[in-house]
Structure 1
């Protein structure tokens, strides 16, 4: 989505008036609300110097009148058109002046700081400040500030690819925020929700909102209101593979956006490159992505999709055998990739894997050798390749050894389960060997803090929990289980630790994994399910959680276990 197309900062100032006024001859005639409206009028029409003049006067006026609230607003206005270090100083001054003011502070201060970091591509710092803002907003029970913090965090979720989660927040405030957000902010939520819908391919819903937003923009007085919808409409056409239409719209909106916000323009430029790709116009795609790279170098503001642009450029110049440009874009890719990894600390699983870092570094060494033709570099490259080869051989040997160990463990597990099936053919899928509660040595093992009758009761309930396979239900926690068996979490935790000799989490995972071990052998249809479906049936929220628990419990991998089951049953 477009990262800054509707800066979240605007959300902090309530209803705005965008009426045009005549040129200012003297500012002293205006009151604070009029000055503020005039500031945003200039800002929205990209008249930065005039906006700065207004903000500077606003702050001077407030200081002269010793008006603390308006001094704070002055710092807020004046920081908006400054570079990051200068803006941070103004926000720090804002924090000092408002430290004894209750209400919207310090929530607003943290929101402003988060917006500033977000604007300058420091997502971690932005998120930290948004979370602090949410904390203070909740302490004050300020619904409006809570909404702003939630929406700000939703923007970050969308930026890092969690569009489904972000869409829930944007949709909620779009349709339920009439008493919290104004018309301008309502429009922001519509744009943000459209962006999310486009990313998760809810194209019909996106198109409905685009048309709704265009009608809103046509009746507005700000000529830039149509630009975001033109961008989104172009992106919608791109999704529908209407490449020529997308090219027309995105080219036009880029020319408009580059005048007011280069970061936003870069999103349009990236999608324009994608449209040229779809239209099989390699020359224009390369030209567009090259311009995008030039823009990014100026601003040093990145976004995850940039990696796709660089891989396209690398492939193009590799195909053209232009090693110099190939090397250049590999270097650019590596710099951007490093920054994204540092910023997001997030594995971009949906992005192309073709040019992962190790491979690019190896290609870089080869290209340098070809271009320079120096023996010393050639020897270094050969040595590096030998080291890589030795490393790969070592890793291959280690992998084979681990694979053999995993197969042995899997075979032992299968044999053990099959022996138990022969010995107790009527056994259910539940993995536990149940004991009569009366036979358990309560006195020897019970903790002093739990009455004996309570311990027996909890053990009996756990026995029912295991026999009836309630551990397969989703969302089980220590608290929910304690509530379901009418005890408290302290007693339940102590009994599980004492009698099961493990933590609650390990206890729950062991039950599920033991169940899976047995059912995967006995139920061929169950084995044929996709991993996500198997995990879901076992009560896990995702496949990764199940495979991790399986490996921890069995010391082998699920894939190895499944392969050994198939081998065993094929032989039979």
Structure 2
């Protein structure tokens, strides 16, 4: 699979790459050339090819001499494409400064989207996402449809990178076919990436049609670079379909092209080797697979380009040398795996959930320590392996029983909650409100309030009762599901002040405002998930948003804190009990 996620990102700002063999640019850069001529020549080349740096320098020099703010800004954009991360960020900082008072509807969104692309190219996905979100925010404020589209597409590529392929496909399909403001070059790029996402979700027929169309179109337009991108994607298609020899035939052509005259990006080069290696694994040709995987390791050492599939590379190499009794190389690749794993845990936190079970970090650390001791002290291999197996077995048993015990407790809590909801449903009319008091009996109580606490308050009884009546309306009408509720906004809504409202909630509800709001939402979720099959079929992020949470993590943490059991187990027990 060619991870060609950067192709369309550049198009956000007009850095169009005609992916053919580079043209020989022999024109002299002259200050008398127009901005349009310079832009056409610069954006008609790929990064680092020809004399694009000189073009950008001349463009900026011309703009500064004429004190043309708009073109100075464009000069900074051009130059940032030609620089490494620190220098490129300086140019984008200059761009942000000079456009801070711009009336154009492309700023400041353009700056944030460019910065997001820059971080993406340098594998800082967290910073890339943060800038894409800011770019989307400002694009929406200015009503710039193209920038909104490009921000959505960029975030979709990040989703694809962390495994959310179905969501990626949905976004790419929309902009490839339903957005009339996307040009043909952009649509072709979208379709190429859409084919990649289709393969990941096993829509193989749809992927194949897109790839074949891409190959034919690129041949027709003599677009060599795009042709090899589609050919590489076809290789991944065959690999996914277990047609290993067909995959190898196409990928070997891609290897020759992408490694000749810097024709391909490091992503293209890495993934070409990766899927050649995996294809040879499929053919049981281990030595050839190892050759390609070792090449990948050498490239990683040179470029420091790290991506999730490297785990597959290193675990295969570790197993290979373990089978062949080469402890020194096994130790070397264990060490390489651990270093890569540490980076992935930092930059790819979502992907870290897919860490291979056989080579999780604690086990590898232990194995590395024992193998090192073996090599340095020249002890018997038999006793080391025996010790490792015994320790691993004991650890596994210990972890297994701890997990089972916790799981059993979680299931019991979930079952009690479901039973409480079901009993409450049986004991009331179908159109009546959910009885939160009944459910609260099965949930942990964080605070209790006695009559003496209530008499110590400084608010008059009339005001207290008025606030309590408003809170009752707030609860009964499920107004707590609205996103962005704060103590201040609720106080304003019920025409009181934050201090009074806080004191009433603490005194009469026995909890602070944040806990009060969370408890209402989670109690509602407990009931609705148990009673509404359609609602619980939704994805967790959507459910979280429906309940007023900003993100999935906030919802799941609040659910476990309130109920004492994880949301996943609660949902699973609902389905189990429903099927009985």
State the TM bucket, normalised to the shorter chain.
0.7 to 0.9
SS in 2 for 1:27: coil
SS in 2 for 1:503: helix
Deviations 1:476-518 (Å, cap 9, x if unpaired)?
A: 96239x9xxxx9995699899998767344235346657999x
CA distance in 2, matches of 1:434, 1:129: 46
Q: CA deviation at 1:52?
A: 2.0
Query: Given the two structures, how large is their TM-score scaled by the length of structure 1?
Result: 0.74
1:242 alignment counterpart = 243
- The alignment of Structure 1 onto Structure 2 pairs a total of residues equal to 513
CA distance in 2, matches of 1:226, 1:511: 54
Q: CA deviation at 1:246?
A: 0.4
Q: CA deviation at 1:70?
A: 2.0
Q: CA deviation at 1:162?
A: 1.5
Tell me whether 487-496 or 4-13 shows the greater mean CA deviation.
Answer: 487-496
CA distance in 2, matches of 1:215, 1:246: 18
1:535 and 1:543 in contact (8 A); partners too: no
> Given the alignment of the two structures, is residue 279 of structure 1 paired with residue 292 of structure 2, yes or no?
no
Unaligned runs of at least 5 residues, structure 1: 376-380, 436-443, 466-475, 520-525, 566-572
Quickly say closer, same or farther: Cα 1:451–1:189, change in 2 above 3 A.
same
Query: Given the two structures, how large is their TM-score scaled by the length of structure 2?
Result: 0.73
> Given the alignment of the two structures, is residue 509 of structure 1 paired with residue 522 of structure 2, yes or no?
yes
1:64 alignment counterpart = 65
Quickly say closer, same or farther: Cα 1:496–1:229, change in 2 above 3 A.
farther
Q: CA deviation at 1:546?
A: 9.9
CA distance in 1, matches of 2:407, 2:200: 43
1:396-407 equivalences under 5 Å are 399=402, 406=409
1:266 alignment counterpart = 270
1:353 alignment counterpart = 357
**RMSD after superposition:** 4.9
1:13 alignment counterpart = 14
Tell me whether 73-82 or 306-315 shows the greater mean CA deviation.
Answer: 73-82
SS in 2 for 1:345: coil
Tell me whether 252-261 or 393-402 shows the greater mean CA deviation.
Answer: 393-402
SS in 1 for 2:230: helix
Unaligned runs of at least 5 residues, structure 2: 440-459, 546-550, 575-580
Quickly say closer, same or farther: Cα 1:162–1:401, change in 2 above 3 A.
closer
1:440 alignment counterpart = none
Q: CA deviation at 1:89?
A: 2.1
Deviations 1:193-212 (Å, cap 9, x if unpaired)?
A: 11111111111111121122
2:109 and 2:139 in contact (8 A); partners too: yes
SS in 2 for 1:38: helix
Quickly say closer, same or farther: Cα 1:556–1:241, change in 2 above 3 A.
closer
1:319-398 equivalences under 5 Å are 319-373=323-377
CA distance in 1, matches of 2:82, 2:44: 14
1:86-97 equivalences under 5 Å are 86-97=87-98
1:3-82 equivalences under 5 Å are 3-4=4-5, 6=7, 8-13=9-14, 23-28=25-30, 30-43=33-46, 48-82=49-83
CA distance in 2, matches of 1:115, 1:300: 18
Deviations 1:51-106 (Å, cap 9, x if unpaired)?
A: 22222222223223332222222222222122222222222222233233232222
1:255 alignment counterpart = 256
Quickly say closer, same or farther: Cα 1:300–1:124, change in 2 above 3 A.
same
1:130 and 1:152 in contact (8 A); partners too: yes
2:218 alignment counterpart = 217
CA distance in 1, matches of 2:519, 2:240: 45
2:176 alignment counterpart = 174
Q: CA deviation at 1:269?
A: 1.5
Quickly say closer, same or farther: Cα 1:65–1:497, change in 2 above 3 A.
same
Quickly say closer, same or farther: Cα 1:368–1:7, change in 2 above 3 A.
farther
1:42 and 1:50 in contact (8 A); partners too: no
1:128 alignment counterpart = 130
Quickly say closer, same or farther: Cα 1:369–1:448, change in 2 above 3 A.
same
Quickly say closer, same or farther: Cα 1:270–1:490, change in 2 above 3 A.
farther
Q: CA deviation at 1:37?
A: 2.4
1:227 alignment counterpart = 228
Q: CA deviation at 1:533?
A: 7.0
Deviations 1:409-443 (Å, cap 9, x if unpaired)?
A: 769969x97xx98xx997469776779xxxxxxxx
1:89-108 equivalences under 5 Å are 89-103=90-104, 104-108=106-110
1:446 and 1:498 in contact (8 A); partners too: no
1:438 alignment counterpart = none
1:459-478 equivalences under 5 Å are 478=481
